[in-house]
Amino acid sequence: MKNFPVFVFPVSLEFYLNARHTHKQLLTVYNPYDFSVNFKVLCTSPNKFTVIDPEGVIAPQSCIDIVVRYTQPSISHCDTTEKFRITMYDRNTQQALGKRDIPTKLIEGEPSSTNPESLGDSFHPLAARTAPVRPIEEQPRITSSQCHHPAHHREQQPVNVVAVAVSICCIAALLLPTQPEQVPKSQWPEWLHIGSNLKLVFSFVLGLVSMLVLRP
């Protein structure tokens, strides 16, 4: 048998002799694995219990509810521990992957209506307290070195040399003559004539760089 953990909730079952609603309970079996598994339910006293669908298949990353009924509750069965064993099997090889035992007990009487959390240690609410106000003379003073004003940080930020260089290039390109313009050949070389579309691109880049440099 392999040693795969078998996850079952609850980990134990308690039936009460005088409380008929407790004679039917659920066991939830989980399959957290990425493959389907077969399961089978066994019991140490099958004459006392009935299990609906005691075997079947659990899909990957799914769970299944198993209905357990106590069919023969009697005073002679009280305080006797029985066990259910849930075993998982590989669907292909039918090899057992793991098992889990669930102890059960028939208890005389009825379940207590008292909250189980209150049966242990005694817990009491805590009174809320506000933090004491420190006197003015004890409060730390904020010096000029501790003050972080946005303008102070802005003055210390280094100038973005790349942004300034791009701005100068864009301004120089906008000052060049537009391609359709007629200018003397001696004043501007032919390759310095740029089109209006290219000037629009330089204008757009200049606006972006100006926002980057002048932003607070």
Residue 57 burial (CB count, 10 A): 13
Distance CA 17, CA 20 (A): 7
pLDDT at residue 162, as a whole number: 74
| Cβ atoms 111, 22 nearer than 8 A | yes
Write down the pLDDT at residue 13.
95
Whole-number pLDDT of residue 119: 47
Average pLDDT, the chain: 78
160-208 residue pLDDT tens: 777 777 777 777 776 766 666 555 554 556 656 667 677 777 777 777 7
12-56 tens-digit pLDDT = 999 999 999 999 999 999 999 999 999 999 999 999 999 988 999
Position 12 scores a pLDDT of 95
Lowest mean pLDDT among 83-87, 90-94, 148-152: 148-152
pLDDT digits (tens, 9 = 90+) for 110-147: 887 654 444 455 566 766 666 666 655 555 554 444 44
What backbone phi and psi angles, to 5 degrees, belong to 211?
-65, -35
- Quickly name the fold that domain 7-110 has: Immunoglobulin-like (2.60.40)
pLDDT score of 152 more than 60: no
Whole-structure pTM value: 0.51
pLDDT number for residue 149: 46
- Give the pLDDT of residue 188: 58
What strands lie across the sheet with 62-70, from one edge to the other? 7-9, 24-31, 62-70, 49-52
State yes or no: cis peptide before 111, omega within 30 of 0. no
Measure CA of the first residue to CA of the last residue in the chain; give whole Å: 70
Higher pLDDT, 155 or 50: 50
More confident residue, 209 or 183: 209
Q: Residue ranges per domain, the chain?
A: 7-110, 156-214
How do residues 89-114 score in pLDDT, each as one tens digit? 999 888 999 999 999 999 988 887 65
CB 16 within 8 A of CB 109: yes
Which pLDDT score, from 0 to 100, does residue 10 have? 94
